[in-house]
Chain A
Amino acid sequence: MQDWIEVGLVDEVPFRGSRLVQTPQGNIAIFKSAEGRVFALWDKCPHKGGPLSQGIVHGESVTCPLHNWVIGLETGEVKGPDQGCARKVKCKVDAGLVFIESAALMKQVA
């Protein structure tokens, strides 16, 4: 069974923007599209580790602020001619709250 942990209100995440969740394993970026869909990725671009949370969100993608790689928010996969994949974190929205998989916080400790 999936264990979830609540990280905040959907309303705290700006549309076409993101917020950070800090964990001992590193930062997780919570994204929200213009339509209000919420996604979560580890905040590291597969290219040079750029903080994806700081990029421009468009459609269901984010462009990394360091070298403009475009990452799909749904899967974490790199779009276009470049190759790679950002690590995805499962997340869901329930009653206006954002939850991420609790396994994300345990992974390396467990």
Chain B
Amino acid sequence: MKQKLVIIGNGMAPGRMLEHLLELAPDQYEVTIFNAEPRVNYDRIMLSPVLSGEKTFEEIVIHGDGWYIKHGITLYKGYKVTKIDRAAKTVTTENGITESYDKLVVATGSAPFIIPVPGNNLAGVLSYRDLDDVMAMMLAAKSRGNAVVIGGGLLGLEAAAGLSEQGMNVTVLHIMPTLMDRQLDAAAGHLLKAAVEARGITVLNGANTKAILGDKKVEGVELADGTVIPASLVVMAVGIRPNAALGKDTGLTVNRGIVVNDQMQSSDPDIYALGECAEHSGTVYGLVAPLYEMANVLAKTLAAEAAVYKGSVTATKLKVTGIKLYSAGDFAEAKDREEIVLRDASRGIYKRLIIKENRIIGVVMYGDTEDGPWFFDKIKKAEDISADREMLIFGQSYAGGVPLDPMAAVAALTPDAEICGCNGVCKGKIVDTIVAKGLTSIDDVRAHTKASASCGSCTGLVEKLLVLSLGDGYKPHAVQPMCGCTHLSHADVRRLIVAKPLKTIPQLMQELEWKTSCGCAKCRPALNYYMIAEWPGEYVDDSQSRYINERVHANIQKDGTYSVVPRMWGGMTNPKELRAIADVADKFNIPAVKCTGGQRIDLLGVKKEDLPGVWADLNAAGMVSGAAYAKGLRTVKTCVGSDWCRFGTQDSTGLGIKLEKFMWGSWTPAKVKLAVSGCPRNCAEATCKDIGVICVDSGYDIHFAGAAGLDIKGTEVLGHVDTEQEAIEVIAALTQLYREQGHYLERIYKWAKRVGLDSIREKIMSDSEKRTHYFERFKFAQKFLQVDPWQERVNGKEAHEFEAMRSFPKKMAAE
């Protein structure tokens, strides 16, 4: 019979522990997890990139809901355990759920330390610990006001950089004389201060917070010397404390954290503690690498294998784009220690090695951190460095006197050299796994070994190992650049537009170092779309970056004439509209009139200079642009549904009209065609559209990702909804997700294939909060987009498009 394993807490440490345990002993335990945070396991060390806008929450999830289901793990999200009964061997949650255990793992993590000053509970005072904090900061940052970050350590500086990226005016208060004093010496702290200040962040060292001012909401911070700094947001990042209260209440031995032995066992043999809440040999840890080492030991212990945790040496990296900083080990000055220092002021480089008895015991690097892991490896192995001492500070390339190329340097690493510090993966494990499993890409290596799967800073090393192992067999995951003007991919560019943020095309080309003066016909339309999608109401459309069809709101034909398609909502028309179309065709000698595949009427062969006249007459009859030329919402095709059809289950025509009236005008990465069929006979052919609806008796089946062009593909089912209003909300939310994630010219079916159908279903169908979020963003953007472009041009907008600069009559030319 399976033993019952209960875990309190669902952070990165227990997540990693379970991964190992499932590998070692998949059938030994029935696992139940209680998580006070209402979420799955995500990568907490990547919160800073989320705050700065470089990543989204979805990108930092480690285990999605599916992972728990697949492994038969019961996960209680948002359930806080308040009681452990050691005699009965049960745990009980706040809301009264009791679960019995054979083995219990306490992984309650840590809580931010809130400094005891007046006003520390005002609205607008936040800590920096979990996703809720990040969301609150991002919301507060929208005010573009003043923020104060208390604490100039790792977290504080990452928070400050993130808030500054979000447009806030940030001041960092640090009580010590130099920044990151626990990881850096004074010299590196000084260089760091200059780099942080260069980003427009004010740094006050030696600043002692006396009070946080404000009535109900924070208004400022007062220092001990009387200085008052106005602020609408205060972030406390002065440190963390182990969350050991539950252990204490239960009667376990607790100092700062829950005391554990080398097997992670607490004073009760059936209870283990893991992660930031655990104290081992008098030390508590707050960085990910030691937590993962503990997780390995605990997994083995639970699988009844011998394992010993001996404590960890830690290395630190600052995750602020553009600032390179690395420190590891012990670097305090002392009598029995020597140091080797390299300074290069013009390049902003500082390196210091601390040496004791011919062994490196600490390293601090600023500006160039390439050799950090190499030194760290020597610290951990306590390697005797007396032989290489002279060249040591120049790093690995100069070790042994002969400069090595980077590839040879990686080849020279021993199998037990650590490549990925976050996940503790060494070279041998990576190389062996590449060979044994036939891995061919970085993603494969991440999936199988976890190397480079957390912060990603070792990706270059992992890539070199792939080259070394596979030779020519390794085809680097081709980052397809957008075009010849840049080395960046569409995904990179979209990410950076948000992260920086970039709000005009010239600014983007400057900051992302475009190789051409003003782009090309490939990138400019894409950039123009990305700007429109990201900055609704702010960005001014650049018509010279539009393809001709979108620039003049008609479709160019092979002879240089244009075709004009007025909108017919849901494919419905009437005698008045038809008469107006007939009259326009007569008046302007339009040579061809045709029905389109999307149930519209196409007037072909219109001369460019006639376009405003044609539009004026169609406008007069109440018709607007059908956007048949747009990378945007095209048509909603419908059948007659329950209005007329004896099989119709719902008002498919009505829904089609509502959808089209709600969604017209929207720009999207590529064209979007919809259809609504009133019953599964599907006369509107909804199952090969970008988005389709099949009405059924019980409601609406929503489909997406079909294709009937270059590729033929049936749709996938997104989900079922009961009401028309929900159908509209789901479809608009789906469209918005596509607007935000799609690469330019990538149709919905290709986008869905790239990001995965489940990731889309999860956001749009499973999570009503996210759906509402995307729906609201769509609605907001529509406020600026639902203007008839024909009407604007009838009224004189961009008149130069439709008039010749000069016309020479025949007579004059013949003179």
Interface residues of A (CB under 8 A from B): 7-8, 12-17, 19-25, 27, 30, 34-35, 48-51, 54-59, 61, 63, 65-66, 68, 70, 105-106, 109
Contact = CB atoms under 8 A, between A and B. Distances in A.
26 contacts: A8-B806, A12-B805, A17-B544, A21-B806, A23-B808, A24-B810, A24-B814, A34-B517, A35-B517, A49-B560, A54-B552, A54-B556, A56-B524, A56-B525, A56-B546, A56-B548, A58-B520, A58-B521, A59-B517, A63-B521, A65-B548, A66-B556, A105-B808, A105-B813, A106-B813, A109-B813
Contacts of B558: 48, 66
Nearest to B561: A51
A58 B519 CA distance: 6
B547 interface: yes
Contacts of A17: 544
A57 B560 contact: no
Contact of B800 (A14, A27, A54): A14
Contacts of B807: 21-23
B195 to A, nearest CB: 34
A21 B556 contact: no
B723 interface: no
B804 interface: yes
Interface string B780-815: 000000000000000000001000111111101110
B805 A13 contact: yes
B524 A58 contact: yes
A16 B519 CA distance: 11
B521 A70 contact: yes
B518 interface: yes
B166 interface: no
B560 A24 contact: no
A85 B399 CA distance: 58
Nearest to A20: B804
A68 B521 contact: yes
Given A24-B813, A66-B558, A12 B800 contact: yes
A22 B806 contact: yes
A9 to B, nearest CB: 9
Which of B546, B809, B812, B813 has most chain A Cβ within 10 Å? Answer: B813
B494 to A, nearest CB: 21
B266 interface: no
B516 interface: yes
Interface residues of B, number: 28
Contacts of A59: 516-518, 520
A47 B547 CA distance: 19
B545 interface: yes
A102 B560 CA distance: 25
A66 B517 CA distance: 24
Given A8-B805, A16-B518, A23-B807, 14 more contacts: A19-B805, A23-B808, A24-B808, A50-B560, A55-B548, A58-B520, A58-B524, A59-B517, A65-B548, A68-B521, A70-B521, A105-B812, A105-B813, A109-B814
Contacts of B545: 16, 56
A55 B521 contact: yes
Closest 4 pairs between A and B when the two form their complex, measured CB to CB: A63-B521, A19-B805, A22-B807, A56-B521
Contacts of B521: 55-56, 58, 63, 68, 70
A14 B808 CA distance: 21
Interface string B545-570: 11110001000101010000000000
A110 B814 CA distance: 8
A56 B543 CA distance: 10
A16 to B, nearest CB: 4
Contacts of A48: 558
Contacts of A13: 805
A13 B544 CA distance: 12
A68 B548 CA distance: 12
B709 to A, nearest CB: 18
A106 to B, nearest CB: 7
Given A15-B544, A17-B544, A58-B524, A22 B518 contact: no
Contacts of B560: 49-51, 54
Nearest to B542: A16
B292 to A, nearest CB: 49
A34 B808 contact: no
A105 B815 CA distance: 10
Interface in B661-693: none
A57 to B, nearest CB: 7
Contacts of B556: 51, 54, 65-66
B800 A21 contact: no
Contacts of A25: 813
Contact of A56 (B544, B805, B806, B810): B544
Contact of A20 (B519, B547, B552, B805): B805
Nearest to A35: B517
Contact of B518 (A7, A12, A58, A106): A58
Instruction: Find the residue from A7, A54, A68 having the highest chain B CB count within 10 A.
Output: A54
Contacts of B519: 58
Contacts of B517: 34-35, 59
A50 B813 CA distance: 24
A8 B805 CA distance: 7
Contacts of A61: 520
A34 B518 contact: yes
B542 to A, nearest CB: 9
